[in-house]
Amino acid sequence: MKSNALFLGTLLAASAVPALAGDVSYKSDVQPILHDYCLNCHEPGGKGFEASGLDMSTYASLMKGTKYGAVIKPGDSFSSVLIQLVEGRAHPAIKMPFELKGGLPARKIDTLKSWVAQGAKDN
């Protein structure tokens, strides 16, 4: 009985995040998502950058955050504003990517969350 429950728990845990068992890489996993979904607004000249000061074109500028401060708290995806926004947890009206119907695909949100949870490293 006990071992069955353990087995089921392992299966569930494994199926929830299949691709994220290992380390998430900023360069090969995170940067492509930011490039495809965020950069057109969040680099100098874009409307997200103009409104918030958040430039995601480099690791350093991403970690610097908005004109008000950091949007990523390494090791703590729950409190990271960037994660709150892509999950629509901050305010439904300012879900990111801005005005994208359906929002960021769940798998990509999971990648960003895992990367932050693993320390938001420049790896």
Q: Which residues make up the interface to ligand HEC (CB under 6 A)?
A: 37-38, 40-42, 47-48, 51-52, 54, 66, 71, 81-82, 85-86, 94, 96-99, 104
- CA–CA dist 38, 92 (Å, integer): 17
* Residue number, 2 or 45, with CB nearest to ligand HEC: 45
Shortest approach of ligand HEC to residue 89 CB, angstroms?
Answer: 12
* Residue number, 95 or 118, with CB nearest to ligand HEC: 95
- CA–CA dist 85, 87 (Å, integer): 5
CB atoms within 10 A of CB 70: 15
Shortest approach of ligand HEC to residue 63 CB, angstroms?
Answer: 12
CA angle 116, 117, 122 (to 5 degrees): 45
Shortest approach of ligand HEC to residue 21 CB, angstroms?
Answer: 23
* Residue number, 20 or 97, with CB nearest to ligand HEC: 97
- What phi-psi label fits residue 62: left (phi over 0), alpha (psi between -120 and 50 degrees) or beta? alpha
Please give the single-letter amino acid code of residue 117.
Answer: A
* Residue number, 2 or 113, with CB nearest to ligand HEC: 113
- CA–CA dist 18, 45 (Å, integer): 37
Shortest approach of ligand HEC to residue 19 CB, angstroms?
Answer: 18
